[in-house]
Every structure is written in C-alpha cells, then in structure tokens.
C-alpha cells in the first residue's frame, strides 16, 4: 500500500469518525428533548383529566366514547 493511499484512508477515517461523533451528539440531544416533551405532555394530560373530573364529569373526556357509538 502506498504512503499516499494510506494517508488518504487515514484522513477519510478521521472525517468519518468526526461525522459519527457529531451525529451522535445530535441524536443524544434530540432524545433528551423528546423525553422532556413527553413528560410535559403527560403532565398536561394529567392536569386536563383532573380539571375534567373536578368539573363534574365522571369519565375524563379522553376516555369517553364519541357520540356516534
């Protein structure tokens, strides 16, 4: 294997390694954001269910069957 080819392969490997690291950071950040958003939605759904219950509905609106049933 020529020295020039080995150098090109090493450069390519370094670039790919950096790209994988960058993508990993993005995926990790997105996973954290998705987890945060999921918790917020769950909290909002819980609050809404409590408000519906407190307003006199015995069954939360999300659990009621649509009128066409």
Count Cα neighbours of 14 within 13 Å in the Cβ-side half-sphere: 6
Total number of domains in the chain: 1
In a domain, 19, yes or no: yes
pLDDT in tens, 11-68: 999 999 999 999 999 999 999 999 999 999 999 999 998 888 888 766 656 666 677 7
User: What does DSSP assign to residue 61?
Assistant: G
Sequence-distant (6+) residues with CB within 8 A of 60 are 48, 49, 52, 53
Higher pLDDT, 52 or 10: 10
Query: What integer pLDDT is reported at residue 27 of this predicted model?
Result: 98
* pTM of model > 0.85: no
In a domain, 65, yes or no: no
Domain with 27, as residue range(s), is 3-48
- Burial class, 4, CB count within 10 angstroms (exposed 0-12 / middle 13-18 / buried 19+): exposed
In a domain, 10, yes or no: yes
Measured distance CA(69)–CA(61) in Å, rounded? 15
């Amino acid at each position: 294997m020529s020295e020039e080819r080995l150098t090109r392969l090493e450069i390519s490997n370094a670039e790919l390694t950096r790209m994988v690291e960058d993508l990993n950071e993005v995926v990790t950040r997105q996973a954290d954001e998705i987890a945060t958003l999921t918790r917020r939605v769950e909290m909002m759904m819980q609050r809404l269910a409590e408000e519906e219950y407190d307003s006199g509905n015995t069954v939360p609106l999300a659990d009621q069957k649509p009128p066409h049933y």
